[in-house]
Amino acid sequence: MNKTILWADDEIDHLKPHILFLEGKGFNVKAVTNGSDAISLINEESFDLVFLDEQMPGMDGLTTLGKIKQIAPQIPVVMITKSEEEYIMEDAIGAKIADYLIKPVNPNQILLTTKRILERKRLTNEKAAQSYLQSFRSIASQLESNPDWREWISIYTQLTAWDLELQDGDEGLRQILTDQIQQSNLEFGKFINREYKYWLNQNLPDRPVLSVDITKEYVLPQLDKADSVFLIVIDCMRYDQWLEFEKLLNQFYSIDTDFYYSILPTATPYSRNAIFAGLYPADIEKRFPELWKNADGDESSLNQSEPELFEELLHRNRVDVKFRYEKVLQQDDGKKISEKIHNYTQTKLNTFVFNFVDTLVHTRSDSQVLKEIAPDTAGFRSLAKTWFEHSNLLQIFRELATKNVKIVVTTDHGSVRALRDTKVLGDKHTSTSLRYKFGRNLKCDEEAAIVVDDPESFRLPRLRPSTNYIIAKEDYYFVYPTNYHKYQNKYNDTFQHGGASMEEMILPVSVLTPK
């Protein structure tokens, strides 16, 4: 269907060659000589674009622009003027014009502007499709070349970038990308099953940064660089979500992003305790046996000792500074902190845990409304972005941007959209998590999971005799044979964590410096 353009100019007769040129390119053009006629037509008909002369007698261009935006704010308007006065340009831009052209204009200039505004999405999508298909072959080649942990970070960041780039693109292309992500996670699961336990050897010369290294590698080095340092852990945040948050922070901060691997299981009692303790779960169990006393109970109860774990970490590293710890579970908690954030800058080291994204993950599992609002990964990413835009956390970032601070932002684990069930056999003492389980003599399909029969090899607590762990790979989740269909229907297409996928394990850690 041809696009329709309205062109308002008191010298429209002189522009006839331009109009004929556009019509020759397939556009419908309606021309008027004044603002009043332009407003009348917009009230009666639909237009895809308006060219508007700024210096018309009677109702001038800026006044006409204002009325157009009241009637049909979605129509892009291009202002055309002889004047190069800065205030006119600022007034037009302030009224949200799509572009601004200085007379005299030539037909090719008008055509280029028209195509850029009206066909930008199509042209962008076509270019993105060409670029992704080239990248598809490159990523496929990487997958076939036995990638190491650094190359897996590269593969994941490329796929994430394309996920954002193509989120509004062609459905067929989106499906190709989805299939490639799934294939990548298949290979990633094999890679982790093969390599992970060797990373846990402290003497290994070349391993990725893990959860246990975060404080030592990224937080402590900042203490000499600013009056105050903040470690902000956003529970259950994926890399794609961080990219959306980052867009809102770039105006305030210079941001240097690196990546680390979460330990397994990618669940709060393990991965977040490891961040604050600088220790693997098995070592935490030895030093803090009370912490695991009720290990198969409520997950949140296993993260009550983070301040004590962090204090001991500082002591082991001979760091003698005062620190504060805050866990933000509710909006009111964040509001109280944001209102007195200047007080925190008087403390050398501050640690915050924000639980909202994790809460969103669990709430979506139980809410049909949220599933409809966020039906897929892109929708869930958008929902998380909306939270951040209106959060007290963003207000805290804004306030801190005016101070001499360093901020380290990271997460304890990500989440994955669980789409495939796999059966598990265990006794009544088996833990309840969907992406990982521990219990006595657990059995499952080994194609769908990493089976840890010797917890010590994975630096995990044994808890009781005959304990083993199973950790889901790819997008699987565990379901018991009893009431199989009930739980399959309940948990299919929910976001979960605890397993071994790129989204859960490869995580951003960013150092923010106020601009």
DSSP-derived pairing of the beta strands 506-514 and 253-261: antiparallel
In angstroms, the CA 113 to CA 119 distance is: 10
Q: Is 27 exposed, middle or buried (0-12, 13-18, 19+ CB in 10 A)?
A: buried
402-409 average pLDDT score: 97
Q: pLDDT digits over 500-510, tens only?
A: 999 999 999 99
- In CATH terms, is domain 211-415+504-514 a member of 3.40.720.10? yes
Q: Which residue has the higher pLDDT, 151 or 333?
A: 151
Q: Is 177 exposed, middle or buried (0-12, 13-18, 19+ CB in 10 A)?
A: buried
273-287 average pLDDT score: 93
Instruction: Report percent pLDDT > 90 for the chain.
Output: 64
- Across 29-43, 286-300, 351-365, 442-456, least confident range: 286-300
60-69 average pLDDT score: 88
User: Any idea how long the chain is?
Assistant: 515
227-235 average pLDDT score: 96
The CATH class that applies to domain 4-118 reads alpha beta
**pTM score:** 0.82
At 210 the pLDDT is 97
At 412 the pLDDT is 97
CA angle (9, 13, 14) in 5-degree steps? 90
pLDDT over 90 at 427, yes or no? no
Q: What are phi and psi of 349, to 5 degrees?
A: -135, 125
User: Cα 84 from chain centroid?
Assistant: 42
At 124 the pLDDT is 72
At 85 the pLDDT is 64
Q: pLDDT digits over 36-64, tens only?
A: 999 999 999 999 999 999 888 889 888 99
At 297 the pLDDT is 47
The CA radius of gyration of the chain, in Å to the nearest whole number, is: 28
Asked if 510 and 257 count as a contact pair (C-beta separation under 8 A), the reply is: yes
Q: pLDDT digits over 143-166, tens only?
A: 999 999 999 999 999 999 999 988
Which band of pLDDT confidence, cut at 50, 70 and 90, is reported for residue 188? very high
Q: Which of 10-19, 257-266, 489-498 has the highest mean pLDDT?
A: 257-266
Task: Provide the β-strand partners of residue 437.
Answer: 470
